[in-house]
Amino acid sequence: MSTSAYLVRMRPAAASLRAVALLVLLLVAFFVSAGLFSPLLLLDNVRQAAPLGVVVLGQAIVLMMGRLDLSVGATASMANIVLCAVFAGDMANTGPAVALTLGAGALVGLANGLMTTKLRIPSFLATLATSMIVAGLVVFFTGGSPRGAVPAGFRVVTEAWLFGFVPYSALIWLALLVLLMLLVHFTMLGRKMILSGANLVAARHSGIPSDGLIVLAFVLSSLLAATGGILVSAITGMASIGVGNGFTLDSIAAAVIGGALFSGGVFLPLGAMAGALILFVVQSLLYLLALPPAAKFIVQGLIIMLALALASFRKEKSS
Amino acid sequence: MLPRGSIRTNLLLGLPALLLAAAIVAVAASWSGDFFAAGNLGNLVNRVLPLSLAALGQAFVLFAGRIDLSVGSVISLSTAILATTSTSLGWAAVPLVLVAGLACGALNAAGVIYLRINPLIMTLASSAIVKGAALILMPTPGGEVDYTFYDAFYGQDLLVGWPLAVILLAFLGAFLLFGFTRFGRRIYALGSDDRAAYANGVDVRRVEWSVFLASGFFAAAAGVAVGIKILSGDPLIGDSFTLDAIAAAVLGGVALQGGRGAVPGVLAGSIALVLIANAFNLLELDPNLQQIAKGLIFVVALMLFMRGGVRRTA
């Protein structure tokens, strides 16, 4: 393939650009109402939005397959519990702690994928059921009082800045984003995934093993959710039940703002990133305006509604 | 396709759930002598009431081939409204709550019909909005529901009382509506095939409006039952009801792809779910296992009932 063809593929979709434009607008509003502009504050927002951003990437992959993952919140919460328990505050346990956490996440994804493909349970119900089971298992094994902590050495992941300028967590987020973009847009596997998301029947007729790819998407989503949970744990440093529960709705909202469609076949990592940042800035704005924290839910719901209403309006106009 | 309205078909759909319920009763009664105690039976009816009402509302939507994920949030909001207004308004608080439930249903219907948002996502979004409203009204569990409400409604936790009457009335009404009226047929028709229903003169928008309003209404009624039971408001208490209501309907033979299911089955499914929880308590198992078990049962029920009947989507 020629270089120009690669470049065409790299060009962000219009929906992504719209999300980025909205983000810029919000940032202006944020800095105007805060009364000062500082790039450091901006980067600090990016740092804190990174866990959500990583989770959104997974949700976007599942949405690309035309499915929905309502278990990312429970998976991230579980990751926090497992990570802290295995770490037990000792830096020497880094390897097993991260590996076990990701392994547990992958298992959740595997269960989700097998339920939706082999048992043919609609994905939102299958993942709703797993999220219930996972949350139940967490409470059962911890007895409601989780133990352990993340050692200070590991918290560098989210608390430290490279050259005092770029937060590590932002780099992790960016790296995962680029990896996924390469996977989806530049590998055969990714092309097959996006095709089965866009048209399952056509994909099957073309001999693409769609079921396996759907399972893969769910495993990726849960792995990313677990990674998001790890990042959250690095921020908070302690184990607490349900710390990632908000990610479920947040990730869907962010993906939708970024132009993801529930009908599948679309993967817009840049849009997903902008979506996550938008949600985060909106939260900060609500905080600045001294609105009650619960207003966040209302804004979230309205954002999802607005984004989808716009999408369906545009589809109607073009057809 | 099976003929609708015949009582035999209706009852057959609920048979698996009824058998499951009977099996649980048998196991629970043989392991624990307390099962048939009058207190436990009355307690069971009181527990079936909110779940069965929420499941009935959900069934309206499911029969029409839609889904409502905002049921839990509506229940939470209802308890919050009840707990903040019952002392000042008295019994007038109940219609207020029901109106709020209708408003939530109207929000869902408007989003689905006018903004053309997929019902699954629309109700997910509205559940966030409603939950936010509940949390603003009542940031932490609290408030007070007048004890006279409890006294008048639940009384002595007897088997025969207001709760049983409400369950029977709601389900009998719904049974007649779905079995013997044109309106009920239209809901099934919409669930079986949108386009065919439209081509045959079903006013799709009107049916969609009514099913979402019904779901909001019944969820609010369930919320009233919960609020009176716990004598306070809790902005998060409804969360588990969303999945439970769907699970009860699915256990009762309601097809998620729409057009298939029966009202008696929904009641049987609700009873079975409540009995499972009750058996856990009577057998003194870890309550945390309950949630895991419920999730697994849900998966098994979906697995059994989803097979074979997957509808081709246009």
What is the predicted pLDDT for the residue at B76?
Answer: 95
Q: What is the pLDDT of residue B8?
A: 66
Which tokens belong to B256? 């998620």
Q: pLDDT value at position B168?
A: 92
Q: Do B131 and A297 touch (CB under 8 A)?
A: yes
Instruction: From B71, B127, B76, select the one nearest A249 (Cα to Cα).
Output: B127
Question: What integer pLDDT is reported at residue B102 of this predicted model?
Answer: 96
Could you tell me the pLDDT band of residue A310, with boundaries at 50, 70 and 90? confident
State percent of chain A over pLDDT 90.
Answer: 24
Of A135, A252, A262, the CB nearest to B291: A135
| Tens of pLDDT, residues A264-307 | 888 888 888 888 988 888 888 887 788 887 888 898 888 888 88
Residues of B in contact with A314 (CB under 8 A): none
Place of tokens 């998060």: B236
- Show Cβ contacts of residue A79 under 8 Å, excluding neighbours closer than 6 positions: A101, A104, A105, A225, A226, A227, A228, A229, A230, A233, A244
> Is B178 within 8 Å of B18 (Cβ atoms)?
no
The CATH number of residue B109's host domain is 1.10.3470.10
- Closest-CA distance, A121 to chain B, in angstroms, reads 6
Q: Is residue B1 a part of any domain in this protein? A: no
> How much is the pLDDT for A12?
64
With beta carbons under 8 A apart, name residues in chain B contacting A296: 132
Kindly tell me if the per-residue pLDDT of A57 is higher than 90.
yes
Task: Give domain status of residue B311, yes or no.
Answer: no
pLDDT at B314 (0 to 100): 31
Q: Within a domain: residue B255?
A: yes
- Average per-residue pLDDT in chain B? 85
Say yes or no for a CB contact (<8 Å) between A301 and B128: yes
Measured in angstroms, the CA of A99 and the nearest CA of chain B are apart by 25
Whose structure tokens read 């078909």?
A: B9
Residues in chain A with CB shorter than 8 Å from the CB of B276 are: none
Residue with the larger pLDDT of the pair B153 and B56? B56
Extract the runs of DSSP E, i.e. beta strands, from chain B. none
Residues B224-256 have pLDDT tens digits of 999 988 888 888 888 889 888 998 998 888 888
Give the residue with greater pLDDT, A7 vs B291: B291
Domain assignment of residue B156, given as a range: 7-306
- Report the pLDDT value the prediction gives residue B132, as an integer from 0 to 100: 92
pLDDT for position B313: 38
d(CA A232, CA A294): 21
Q: Taking CB atoms and an 8 Å cutoff, what residues of chain B touch A128?
A: 243
Indicate the burial class of A246 (C-beta count within 10 angstroms; 0-12, 13-18, 19 or more): middle
Closest-CA distance, A3 to chain B, in angstroms, reads 39
Whole-Å CA distances, A30 to A26, A163, A275, B264: 6, 26, 16, 54
Check pLDDT > 50 for residue B309: no
Q: What was the pLDDT predicted at A10?
A: 59
Local confidence band at B280 (pLDDT 50, 70, 90 cut-offs):
confident
User: Is residue B144 very low, low, confident or very high in pLDDT (cuts 50, 70, 90)?
Assistant: confident
Tokens of B89: 């308004």
CATH number of A14-27+38-311: 1.10.3470
Nearest to A110 by CA among A89, A91, A133, A127: A127
Chain B residues within an 8 Å CB radius of A248: none
User: Is residue A186 pLDDT above 80, yes or no?
Assistant: yes
Out of A36-40, A88-92, B171-175, B292-296, give the one with best mean pLDDT. Answer: B171-175
Percentage, residues of chain B above pLDDT 70: 92
Find where tokens 């065409």 sit: A8
Q: In this predicted structure, what is the pLDDT of residue B104?
A: 96
pLDDT at site B2 = 44
B1 pLDDT higher than 50: no
Name the closest residue on chain B to residue A307, using Cα atoms. B117
Coil, strand, or helix at residue A244?
coil
Strand (E) or helix (H) holding B303: helix B287-306
For chain A, give the mean pLDDT: 84
* Number of domain units in chain B: 1
Q: How confident is the model over B205-231, as pLDDT tens digits?
A: 999 999 999 999 999 999 999 998 888
For residue B293 the two structure tokens come to: 């078990």
Report how far residue A282's alpha carbon sits from residue B128's, in angstroms, rounded to the nearest whole number: 15
Measure the CA–CA gap between A166 and A43, rounded to whole angstroms. Answer: 7
Over the stretch B97-113, which tens digit does the pLDDT of each residue have? Answer: 999 999 999 999 999 99
pLDDT bucket at A317, cuts 50 / 70 / 90: low
Predicted ipTM of the assembly: 0.82
Residue in the block written with tokens 């919409």: B190
Domain spans in chain A, listed from the N-terminal domain onward? 14-27+38-311
- Selected residue with higher pLDDT from B18 and B306: B18
d(CA A160, CA A154): 10
The band of A3, judged by pLDDT with boundaries at 50, 70 and 90, is low
Task: Say whether pLDDT at A95 is over 60.
Answer: yes
Distance of CA B204 to the CA centre of its chain: 23
